[in-house]
Amino acid sequence: MSAGAFTAARGAAWLEDLDPRMKLCWLACVSLLSVVLDSVVGLGVLCALSSVVITGLRMPARAWGLLGFVLAAIVWGTILSQGLFYAAEPRTTLVTLLPPWNLGGWQLGGLRLYREGLTYGLAQSLRMIAVTLAGLAVCLSTTPPRLLAALTWLRVPSAIGFMTVASLRFVPLVLGEYQTVRQARWLRSGARQGINTRPWQPFAQMRVGIALLVPVIAAALRRATALATSVAARGFDPAARHAPYPPLRMRLAEGLALAALLATTGAIVAAKVLYWLYVGEMYYRPTLRPLYELARSWM
Amino acid sequence: MNDQPSAAIEVERLSFTYAGREQPAVRELSFRIRAGEWVVLAGATGSGKSTLLRALAGLIPHHSHGRMEGSVRLFGRDTRATSASELASTVGLVLQSPDDQLTSTSVAAEVAFGLVNLGLPTKEISAGIAAALAGVGLTQMADRSTAELSGGQKQRLIVASLLAMRPRVLLVDEPLSQLDPVAADELLSTFDELRAAGMTIVAVEHRLDEMFAKADRVLVLTDGGLLGEASPGDPALTTLFDKARLRLPDLPQVMHTLGKRPMPRVDDALAMLARRESRDSHDSYSRSNSDGAPRSNGKVLLSSKQLSFAYTRRGLPVLRDVSFDLRDGQRTALVGPNGAGKSTLLAVLAGLHRPTAGTIVCGDANASDNHVARDRDRSQRTSRPGLVLQNPDLMLFCDSVRDELALAPRERGLDERAVDIMIEQLAGQIGLANELDSAPLALSQGQRLRVAVAATLALDSPVLLLDEPTMGQDADQVDRLFAALPDDQIVLFATHDVRAITRHARRVLVLADGVLIADCTPAQLLADDELLAKARLRLPPLLELRRRLGLAGLTVEALSRELES
């Protein structure tokens, strides 16, 4: 059996060829760091690294465009909402969009854009983008068999590993079926968007919109039942632990890169923990002052 | 040395009642199946066939909630006392839809799934994958993604994933229902080879024409009980089928009508009929059917002129210069191999896609610009043909059959009185008058198809398009559906089912690689081997007999009359 049997069918870009355990570790590290880091610079670097990694993926130009649009929408939406509605103090007004005014005896506070809010929004959006890109890089570059093998190797219970992989396989099918149901709705009466287009009847719209999910859910349940029967008949035991298959072999370079990744992540987390202990007045060492300064400025 | 007991399966007084039900799904079943035997389970919907298969596979009682009485023994071992992994290496189960059974996206990984569950070492797994794929002729596909396989190949892949676990019994639940005739033939050949190698096969299948020619024995179930058993050529089987209200396959039915043994194989039937094959049978057969292209003087109600379509602007065209007219009352079959463009043509005609070139005229209106991306006026909807999709379940989203039928007329602005009259009329016509308040998705498969058809007829369009209405349906359901359609309704249906073509179409359009390559009668299609091959169609046993005897009739009734005279 050739190794190609378990690699990506689209032709292996470098990311697709990478050991799946390393990719899962990458996702875990990015997720951890996006929580640990507070500095916009640090989060920006993390986001940039995630962006570099995802370029190892082969996607059509249209998909890249869509991804860029979604990420830009996340950044814009998060920054703007935090900039306008930032409530913590201190806060510095950058622009006053609406001055305070009196409305029939009610004093309204006006609408302002705050500098701290924009910074906070930028940090939040960078967190989301870093994790989203890392997650996409892992899911889109790893075939389900290799992902399952990596999850098995990482001692993830069989039931969870299998469910993860099965859902990756079935998500496109379910989305396709929802599209078919929308088409069927049009075929059945001519409603363009698959829902009742009478804007003056919002509840009717909602009811029909939910109704369109019924055949999709019914089909998903039928498929889940058939799959459960099929895997049970093939001896699948969710409580059992098996050796990963296909066998995973990590190359030396991958091993070194993984060690570097884990060491860097560990060092950053350790630095932040020491900084938090210092800020919380629980632990202080004068020799660690450069580290505190580094953590405060860049992490 | 052979220490196998002669019985592969022994069922003793087996009853099973699902949790929450009062009536058992199967009751007091007792029978034995010998090793290497091919047995077909026949019975109407709800007769307990699938429950019995689950019990034979050991899923009952291991993976089912309910009460089981009696016993099932596989090669002498009681399934209750056997672990799931031991059962998996003794018996394999193939279900109806291959897509629903695939666990992986890679061919090799799919086969590996069961072997990993058995806890085998890596080397044995790799060897097992190679051997199993070779066993079903998919060695060359080992490195492929499952998405690249055809329906037949996927079903064979499932068989391979089971064979890798080296079972001695293979249980198959309607494995042919989703396959075209050529793919079904390939799968049956695989089963044949397995049986020759000693595998015991137990099959549930609606397409009995193909299955009967292979089977050693048929067990007939009714209401969860065993009505009786007989070999496919045994006259007793006719009585059993009558009692169970089942339809015999076409060839045995003709033989029975002629007072002969109901032989399912063509060679046996020919010997039984004592009629020699005429040397020039094929010539006379062809001449008898060379009556020219189908003619009709009715009004043209759907016209496709130079229709072309591609899914993307720079993509390859899926349809190229397709031109034809459909006239008043005409029922036309659309045939062709998978990927020929049949479903796409129906979707373009119905307005789901905008044609890249050409025109569609429906009734008196130009329908080319009336498509899903543009249609804003629902009153114009009837100027397009109505389409029933391949999976009618995805067309049902209302709480009751009544609401499904009322959807289109209500949205067209008909008053409630007119809507009620229309519902009653449609429900009566399509045989659903007693199910108006039932939830559509709770109905049987045949009834769900008829609800989707009736809901489409409610559009009041002059043309009805059906995408694979025979897929997953038994022959009776298909006959019932066509019988329920109004006589003056134009119907264009895509199908691989030769029986449905001969019974329900007067005209056949053959599509290959997006090009209309033939416009003929069913008889002309059946006379042309090249055309049949291009359309990936196979003659069922009855029509094979017809061909070899040089007869003209296309249906059971017509051929029986011809043979009697």
CA distance B473 to chain A (A): 17
Give contacts of B87 with chain A, Cβ < 8 Å: 235
Residue B67, pLDDT score: 93
| pLDDT category of residue A264 using cuts at 50, 70 and 90 | very high
C-alpha closest to that of B255 among B241, B272, B276, B274: B272
Q: Are A234 and A196 in contact (CB under 8 A)?
A: no
In this prediction, residues B275-303 reach a mean pLDDT of 60
Higher pLDDT, A275 or B300: A275
pLDDT tens across B201-211, in order? 999 988 888 88
If you search the block for the tokens 């059962």, which residue do you land on? B87
HSE-up of B163 (CA within 13 Å, CB side)?
26
Nearest CB to B105; choose among A169, A208, A230: A169
How do residues B148-162 score in pLDDT, each as one tens digit? Answer: 887 778 888 998 999
Given a contact cutoff of 8 angstroms between Cβ atoms, the answer to whether B552 and B288 are in contact is yes
Task: Identify residue A4 by its one-letter amino acid code.
Answer: G
> What local confidence, expressed as pLDDT, does residue A273 receive?
95
The number of residues making up chain B comes to 565
Measured CA to CA in angstroms, residue B166 lies from A183, B1, B92 at distances of: 44, 19, 9
Structure-derived torsion over alpha carbons of residues B215, B220, B224, B227, reported in degrees to the nearest 10: -140
Distance CA B279, CA A122 (A): 86
Distance from the first to the final alpha carbon of chain B: 56
| Beta carbons of A145 and B109 less than 8 Å apart | yes
The model's pLDDT over A70-109, given as tens digits with 9 standing for 90+, comes to 999 999 999 999 999 888 888 899 888 888 888 777 887 7
Query: Region B360-368: what's the mean pLDDT?
Result: 76
Cβ–Cβ of A229/B398 closer than 8 Å? no
- Span B424-446, mean pLDDT? 88
Spatial CA neighbour of A162 closest among A220, A219, A230, A218: A230
- At B191, the amino acid letter reads F
Output the pLDDT for position B287. Answer: 45
Query: What is the pLDDT, as a whole number, of residue B332?
Result: 95
Would the CB atoms of A234 and B108 count as touching at under 8 Å?
no
Domain definitions of chain A by residue range? 1-142, 144-247, 274-299
CA distance B537 to B496: 7
**Residue A233 and residue B59 in contact, taking contact as beta carbons nearer than 8 Å:** yes
Reply yes or no on whether the pLDDT at A192 is more than 60: no
CB contact at 8 A, B563 and B258: yes
Q: Residues with Cβ < 8 Å from B121, sequence gap 6 or more? A: A243
Within 8 A of A1 by CB-CB distance, chain B residues are 108, 126, 129-130, 142
What is the band of B78 on the pLDDT scale with cuts at 50, 70, 90? very high
Question: Residue type at A122?
Answer: L
Quickly state the pLDDT bin for B1 (edges 50, 70, 90).
Answer: very low
Q: Does residue B293 carry a pLDDT above 80?
A: no
Region at A105 (left for phi over 0; alpha for psi -120 to 50; beta for the rest): left
pLDDT, one tens digit per residue, over A18-34 is 899 999 999 999 999 99
Residue with tokens 């081997």: B529
The helix/strand/coil state of B15 is: strand
Both tokens of B164, joined, read: 């890798």
Residues B385-399 have a mean pLDDT of: 91
- Asked whether the beta carbons of residue A235 and residue B84 sit closer than 8 angstroms, the reply is yes
Average pLDDT for chain B: 87
Give the residue among B466, B518, B520 at the shortest CA–CA distance from B497: B466
Q: Is B290 a residue whose pLDDT tops 60?
A: no
- B174-191 burial: b if 16+ Cβ within 10 Å, else e: bbbbbbbbbbbebbbebb
Which residues of chain B lie closer than 8 angstroms to A235, CB-CB? 84-85, 87-89, 114, 117-118, 165
DSSP tag of B362: E
A240–B112 C-beta distance less than 8 A: no
The percent of residues in chain B predicted with pLDDT above 90, rounded, is 47
Under DSSP, the state recorded for B118 is T
Looking at residue B289, what is its pLDDT? 47
Q: What per-residue confidence (pLDDT) applies to B381?
A: 52
Instruction: With CB atoms and an 8 Å threshold, state whether A234 touches B114.
Output: yes
> B117-135 in b/e burial notation, b at 16+ Cβ within 10 A?
bbebebeebbebbbebbeb
- Answer yes or no: is pLDDT of B52 > 50: yes
Q: Is the predicted pLDDT of residue B481 greater than 80, yes or no?
A: yes
pLDDT tens digits along B515-524:
999 999 999 9
CA distance A189 to B398: 13
Contact check, Cβ <8 Å, A246/B112: yes
Task: Provide the pLDDT for residue A106.
Answer: 82
CB contact under 8 A, A189 and B393: no
CA dihedral B530, B531, B535, B539 (to 10 degrees): -80
CB contact under 8 Å between B394 and A177, yes or no, is yes
- Find the DSSP H helices in chain A: 14-17, 20-36, 40-54, 61-85, 115-141, 144-153, 158-189, 202-211, 213-233, 252-279, 289-298
Q: How far apart are CA A141 and CA A19, in angstroms?
A: 10
Flag if B381 and A189 touch (Cβ within 8 Å): yes
Write the secondary structure of B258-277 as one string of H (helix), E (strand) and C (coil).
CCCCCCCCHHHHHHHHCCCC
Taking the Cβ of residue A215 and every Cβ of chain B, the question of whether any pair is shorter than 8 Å is answered with yes
Task: State the virtual CA torsion across B77, B79, B82, B86 in degrees, nearest 10.
Answer: 90
What average pLDDT does range A192-199 have in this prediction? 48
Strand spans (E) along B79-216: 91-94, 169-173, 200-204
Q: How many residues does chain A have?
A: 299
Hunting for tokens 């909807």 — which residue is that? B381
Specify the 3-state DSSP secondary structure of B385.
coil
Q: What is the pLDDT of residues A123-160, one digit of tens each?
A: 999 999 999 999 999 988 888 888 888 888 888 888 88
Q: What is the ipTM of this complex?
A: 0.80
User: What's the burial of A128, exposed, middle or buried (CB within 10 Å: 0-12/13-18/19+)?
Assistant: middle
Residue A198 confidence (pLDDT): 54
Cβ contacts of B125 on chain A, cutoff 8 Å:
245
CB within 8 Å: A234 and B116: no
Question: Per-residue pLDDT for A183 more than 50?
Answer: yes
* Confidence check: pLDDT of A196 > 50: no
Contact B103 A166 (CB under 8 A): yes
Residues in chain B with CB shorter than 8 Å from the CB of A162 are: 103
Mean pLDDT for B242-262 is: 91
User: Which region among B11-15, B76-80, B400-404, B551-555 has the lowest average model confidence (pLDDT)?
Assistant: B551-555
CB nearest to B88's CB, from A148, A184, A233 = A233
A219/B393 CB distance under 8 A: yes
Across the interface, whether the CB atoms of B408 and A188 are under 8 A apart is answered yes
Q: Measure A114 CA to nearest chain B CA, in Å.
A: 43
Distance CA B99, CA B158 (A): 10
Q: How far is CA B198 from the centre of its chain?
A: 28
**pLDDT at residue B466, rounded to an integer:** 95
Residue A3, beta-bridge partner list: none
Separation in Å, CA of B28 to nearest CA in chain A: 24
CB count within 10 Å of CB B480 equals 17
pLDDT (average), residues B531-538: 90
Which range of B219-233, B291-305, B329-343 scores highest in mean pLDDT? It is B219-233
- Decide: helix, strand or coil at residue B317: coil
Asked if B101 lies within 8 A of A145 by C-beta distance, the reply is no
Confidence of residue B283 (pLDDT cuts 50, 70, 90): very low
Contact between residue A83 and residue A107 where contact means Cβ atoms under 8 Å apart:
no
Mean pLDDT over residues A279-295, rounded? 91
Residue A233 near residue B165 (C-beta atoms within 8 A)? no
- Single-letter amino acid, residue B462: P
Chain B interface includes A184 (CB < 8 A): yes
Residue of B nearest to A218 (CA): B441
What residue has token string 């109505």? B386
- How much of chain B, in percent, has pLDDT values that exceed 70? 92
Each residue of B164-190: pLDDT tens digit? 888 999 999 988 877 788 888 888 888
**A 231-260 residues with CB < 8 A to B:** 231-237, 240, 242-243, 245-247
Residue A230 C-alpha, separation from nearest chain B C-alpha, in angstroms? 6
B375, pLDDT greater than 80: no
Q: Say what the pLDDT of residue B538 is.
A: 87
Query: Which residue has better confidence, A43 or B103?
Result: A43
> Does the pLDDT of residue A281 top 70, yes or no?
yes
> Which pLDDT does position B2 carry in this prediction?
47
What CA–CA distance (Å, rounded) separates B564 from B295? Answer: 30
Residues of chain A with C-beta less than 8 angstroms from the C-beta of B467: none
Average pLDDT over residues B354-371: 79
Radius of gyration, alpha carbons of chain B: 25
Q: Is the pLDDT of residue A276 over 60?
A: yes
pLDDT for B394 equals: 92
**Whole-number Cα distances in Å, B18 to A219, B22, B68, B134, B201:** 22, 8, 9, 39, 26
Contacts of B440 in chain A (CB under 8 A): none
Q: Does the predicted TM-score (pTM) go above 0.95?
A: no
Q: CA A182, CA A192: separation in Å to the nearest integer?
A: 9
Q: How far, in whole angstroms, is CA B453 from its chain's centroid?
A: 18
B31 pLDDT exceeds 90? yes
Distance from CA of B443 to the nearest CA of A (A): 13
Question: What residues in A contact B62, CB-CB < 8 Å?
Answer: 232
Flag whether pLDDT at A195 surpasses 50. Answer: no
CB contact under 8 A, B391 and A219: yes
Q: Which of A163-177, A251-265, B32-46, B536-550 has the lowest mean pLDDT?
A: A163-177
